[in-house]
Amino acid sequence: MAQYGFLCRPHQADWRALIDNLLRKDTPKRVHHMELFHDDEVRLAVLKRFNLLPGVKEDDGHFAGKSLIALNRFLGFDYVNCILGGLAFPLNYVKAEDTAPLKRSDGRSYMEEHRGPITTPEEFEKYPWPDPNAPQATRDLEWFSENLPEDMCIMSHTGHFAEYLCWLMGYESLCYALYDNRGLVRALADKILDFHVAEVKRLLQFDRVKVIWASDDMGFKTGLMISAADMREFVLSGHKKLAAMAHAAGRPYLLHCCGKLTDILDDLTDDVKIDGKHSFEDTIEDVRQAKGTYGRKIALIGGVDVDFLCRADEKAIRKRVRETLDVCLPGGGYALGSGNSVANYVPLDNYLAMVDEGWRYCS
């Protein structure tokens, strides 16, 4: 454990400094760390290795919240993630064995790409839509509002427009419907927008929610999942609405989005007006290159490629972190993190080395 310098330093959270950094107000005094999420297996492994919640059992009614606060404070984060709860969309999944070092006993789940639960107007009418206005949906937000330390804030995820279109119809069915049944696609997009507008209205009622962080994968390694024109019509219009709501309430609007977004980057920065972008994959775009292009207009989050994080040794990881910070930290608008998320197949020591090197950088 002594190899990690962050174990010997106080981790003073400062959500205000994080927001100033995301808004590119100036070079931050220290490195800020952000992740879309840590897989539960990673969170539990860190808790166990460093004994972060002594005496708290997993059957504690608030274990999830307590463990998230403990993990993020230990790693030096300035926030926790929290969404409206109990709003699961019934979807079609396929399962496979999990072969990760911190594997899940019940396997890994993937979306059914051929056919989702909504492919006809009849299925659309019968679909059991979750209610974002359900009273119990804010239970976790209420708990964090009362129990989160004052130097931390809440970031809330929302805005799954492209994802819900793909998941609810099935990607293959969506592609056919864009030619054969655009009316159904339009109806589905409108319903998704109504859901997210109601969701964000509730999120913005909580003062501790300081950032709206949309999460919406729109592409793959070489392009968009659907055409740029269709993306603008059915997806970006929704993000523009949510971004305007967030900005009117004085909150930044961030976007996690996988894939090559070249065809819509100007739309995202200049029309939707996102304040920051997350998800970088070296085979698509190195975050260090993005700093000199659209990184002059919005914040960049993460960027230590997940494949690299899995395969590299500690020396290479620490070197990559320092090279990234040398380029991206000046002027603000950068938070250190993985290129996507801390999945359970990322070697734990590799991830901790990345975090530690970020703390050492400004020491």
Report DSSP state, residue 86. S
Task: Flag whether 62 is in a domain.
Answer: yes
Structure tokens given for 326:
């040398």
Task: Flag whether 316 is in a domain.
Answer: no
User: Looking at 174-285, which runs of residues are DSSP E strands?
Assistant: 209-215, 253-256, 276-278
Please give the single-letter amino acid code of residue 354: M
Q: Do you know the residue count of the chain?
A: 363
| 205 exposure class (CB count in 10 Å sphere: 0-12, 13-18, 19+) | exposed
pLDDT in tens, the chain (363 residues): 446 776 666 678 999 999 999 999 999 999 999 999 999 999 999 999 999 999 898 888 899 999 999 999 999 999 999 999 999 899 999 999 999 989 898 899 999 999 999 999 999 999 999 999 999 999 999 999 999 999 999 999 999 999 999 999 999 999 999 999 999 999 999 999 999 999 999 999 999 999 999 999 999 999 999 999 999 999 999 999 999 999 999 999 999 999 999 999 999 999 999 999 999 999 999 999 999 999 999 999 999 999 999 999 999 999 999 999 999 999 999 999 999 999 999 999 999 999 999 999 986
Task: Flag whether 166 is in a domain.
Answer: yes
pLDDT at 1: 46
SS3 for 189? helix
Q: Which helix (H) or strand (E) holds 299?
A: strand 299-301
**CA 114 to CA 98: how far, in whole Å?**
22
- Per the structure, the count of domains in the chain is 1
**Which of 343, 338, 297, 289 lies closest to 317, judged by CA?**
338
Distance of CA 61 to the CA centre of its chain: 25
**CA 16 to CA 145: how far, in whole Å?**
16
Task: Flag whether 127 is in a domain.
Answer: yes
Task: Flag whether 307 is in a domain.
Answer: no
**CA 116 to CA 137: how far, in whole Å?**
25
Task: Flag whether 334 is in a domain.
Answer: no
Domain enclosing residue 102, as ranges: 14-30+44-302
Task: Flag whether 255 is in a domain.
Answer: yes
Indicate the angle between helix axes 63-75 and 139-147, nearest 10 degrees. Answer: 50
**CA 28 to CA 246: how far, in whole Å?**
23
pLDDT at 64: 95
| 216 exposure class (CB count in 10 Å sphere: 0-12, 13-18, 19+) | buried
Task: Flag whether 329 is in a domain.
Answer: no
Alpha-carbon separation of residue 249 from 20, 70, 324, 346 (angstroms): 16, 29, 32, 37
pLDDT at 30: 94
The CATH number linked to 274 is: 3.20.20.210
